[in-house]
Amino acid sequence: MDLDPRMTFDSFVVGPANRLAAAAARRAAESPGKGYNPLFLYSDSGLGKSHILHAIAHHCTRHYPERTVRYQPLELYISELADAIASDSEASLDVRYRDLDLLLLDDVQFLAGQRQAQEMLLRLLDRITAREGQVVLASDRSPAQIDGLDSRLLNRFSGGLIVDIGTPDMETRSAILRRKAEERGATLAEGVLQSLAKAPFRNVRELQGALNRILVLQELEGRPISLEELPALIQGLPGARIQVPDPSPPSGRQASTAPAWRRRLEASAEAAEAEGVQARRLRRLLEQPREPEGWEAALSDFEAALDRIREIRRELDSLGNPWPEAAANLLRNPDRLDESEALLASARERVRPFGSIPEGPELERLEDGMSRLAIRAADRLLQADHPDYNPLFLHTTSQGRGQSFLAAVGRSHRSRNPEARVAFVSAAEFAEEFIDALARGVAGAWRERWWTVDVLLLHGVHELSMMERAQDEFFHLFEALKRRNARIFLVADRIPSEIEKVDDRLLSRFEGGLVVDLGKAPARPQSEPSPGIPTASEPVPTTPSPPSTRRPQSPGIGAGASEQELELLRRLAAMTALPGAGRSEEVDSGESPKDPAASDGGWRPSRERVIWDWPIIEEQIVEEYSNQGRGEWASKAR
């Protein structure tokens, strides 16, 4: 579709109501695919959405001519899709769009009820964003208000940036009128521009229509239109209630004799406007020639709204005001008090702290036989600027063991980075939080809060299998955190491939990092014997071995033990002999008996063929010098 050459960023007038949208649009045009993707703009008709889309396209084609850009209304896309379906050529339509660097779709509200178009658009978004292309959409309503919109599309839109463009204030309308008049090379009589800007037109398009009528008459008659002629010339246009100011302002005596209702309304309106708050409600009442019915109740409602706006502004400031541009726009208009309340609720959610991490040791001081591989991997993931693996997926059948490990990770990171945002939570709590945010209407702020996490510690990952919507949210969170190089630690009770009913996209990402067995919970203390294992207090028949045949023991595995304790160890070894071990092999100097029948009638396996299940990991580690590779020290467990 051809672009309007007049709709550029240079000709777009920026004010408080559209500043955030303009800034996000420039970011999308200058760095496609690097910021907010997709960017979703919405507003009432005639407030500049199409202008912004054209401006993005102009900027990108001018500065990046090698990039492919396509702008068109959604209706045209749906028409192309219908033709492609009729001719069985959907594949060719898909090829035409999927390699775009910048896709700009207008009037996205027409997706309502178009299931096939929604499916095609969802696939298209995935393909364009996967290759770092930029998508910008515009609609006359927010995504949540588009009837029948697929939840997956709603999630994709929410995963980018959604911006509302509000109605411009009087100063912005004046700037727009001045810019349009200058483009036409026209001059307006004194007071005409200001009176037009004060008229309550619903949008910029209506305002521009009124200006066009004046400029056409000036060109035809060859003279400027006076302020007194203005009401009659634009009579019949929407919102064309214009008051021509009295050239002779009232004297002090006249002002003092004004009716009490007019004085009170005027005083309240001026006080609000002095704070930058619109007083249109009261100004409409002041336009009445006689005392309006119910003006006192209207004044009371307005002043209550003004007080609440002040309270909201103070609380937003105390919260750091995450969205100053949106707040500045909303808090100027008492008629949008509900939206201001919603903004405050979102700000509270956006800055809500994450739960505390329980007290305990840091990674390097973990005991209870924690996997040394897991500890080293976690420490490396925390410290590396660009880790080789992310996420670290840990599996263990002990829920408490997994949580203890994650808590130690969080404490280690906090000690090194006190200001870091660390989230320590279960998958079930994550899902409950999301449902609660949806119910309170703060899902967008909830997502932004989670996307600021520096280290995510999520346990009970297998519980996601029963939560489809939570899986989708977690997938987008995972992608957002990876883009920020945040560190992700996950714990489940099984390996990823054994978690059923989980999206394949999530499983591939779990397995794309490092999967480590965290091990079982430590064995019970030796004072609590397991059934069938004799203790040192029980009578144990002993068979002394010749001193010359006993190999020196590693510390903690028999060193300094009594003959009775050594016999207990030999019994344990016999229980854990490898299957198929037919005979004991000679260990040292050939003095060990080769006959499998020992002198006491029992069979005793060689230690080289025994698997030791020892509860204390440090006592299993043997440091030995490797003769291969670069001669580094290596650790292995016997």
Structural domains of the chain sorted by starting position, each given as residue range(s) with its CATH number in brackets: 19-164 (3.40.50.300), 170-233 (1.10.8.60), 274-338 (no CATH), 363-517 (3.40.50.300), 524-638 (no CATH)
How large is the angle between the packed helices 468-483 and 443-450, nearest 10 degrees? 50
Lowest mean pLDDT across 286-290, 340-344, 517-521, 607-611: 607-611
Q: In terms of Cα–Cα distance, which of 237, 203, 207, 278 is closest to 43?
A: 203
Element (H, E) at 71: strand 69-73
Q: Can you tell me the distance from the alpha carbon of 239 to that of 223, in angstroms, rounded to the nearest whole number?
A: 25
pLDDT at 72: 87
Q: Can you tell me the distance from the alpha carbon of 459 to that of 457, in angstroms, rounded to the nearest whole number?
A: 7
Sheet holding 392-395, edge to edge: 422-426, 455-459, 487-492, 392-395, 514-517
Cβ–Cβ under 8 Å, residues 320 and 351: yes
Angle at 39 between CA 33 and CA 42, to 5 degrees: 165
pLDDT at 423: 94
Q: Give alpha helix (H) positions in 451-517.
A: 468-483, 504-511
Instruction: Please report, as a single letter, which amino acid is at residue 150.
Output: D
Contacts of 220 by beta carbon, 8 Å cutoff, 6+ apart: none
Q: What is the mean pLDDT of residues 23-51?
A: 87
Element (H, E) at 118: helix 115-130
pLDDT tens track for 394-434: 999 888 889 999 999 999 998 888 888 999 999 999 988 88
Higher per-residue confidence, 129 vs 556: 129
Q: Can you tell me the distance from the alpha carbon of 328 to that of 313, in angstroms, rounded to the nearest whole number?
A: 9
Beta bridge partners, 625, equal 633
Q: Can you tell me the distance from the alpha carbon of 489 to that of 370, in angstroms, rounded to the nearest whole number?
A: 16
pLDDT at 42: 92
Cβ–Cβ under 8 Å, residues 574 and 604: yes
Tell me the pLDDT of the chain averaged across its residues.
Answer: 77
Q: Which of 186-190, 374-378, 453-457, 619-623 has the highest mean pLDDT?
A: 453-457
pLDDT tens track for 590-623: 443 444 444 444 444 444 444 445 455 444 444 4
Q: What is the mean pLDDT of residues 125-144?
A: 88
Among residues of the chain, what percentage have pLDDT more than 90?
15
Q: What is the mean pLDDT of residues 150-176?
A: 84
Q: Can you tell me the distance from the alpha carbon of 522 to that of 528, in angstroms, rounded to the nearest whole number?
A: 13
Cβ–Cβ under 8 Å, residues 20 and 163: yes
Q: Which of 193-207, 245-259, 473-487, 510-524 has the highest mean pLDDT?
A: 473-487
Q: pLDDT band at 235, cuts 50/70/90? A: low
Q: In terms of Cα–Cα distance, which of 468, 459, 334 is closest to 401?
A: 459
Is this structure's pTM higher than 0.85? no
Q: pLDDT band at 56, cuts 50/70/90? A: very high
pLDDT at 523: 53
Contacts of 383 by beta carbon, 8 Å cutoff, 6+ apart: none
* The two three-digit tokens of residue 553, written as one number: 């023991």
Q: What is the CA radius of gyration of the chain?
A: 37
pLDDT at 546: 43
pLDDT tens track for 440-458: 888 888 988 898 899 999 9
Higher per-residue confidence, 539 vs 484: 484
Q: What is the mean pLDDT of residues 371-398?
A: 87
Q: How is residue 619 annotated by DSSP?
A: G
Q: Give alpha helix (H) positions in 235-277.
A: 252-256, 260-274
Q: pLDDT band at 189, cuts 50/70/90? A: confident
- Counted residue by residue, the chain has a size of 638
* The two three-digit tokens of residue 293, written as one number: 């019915």
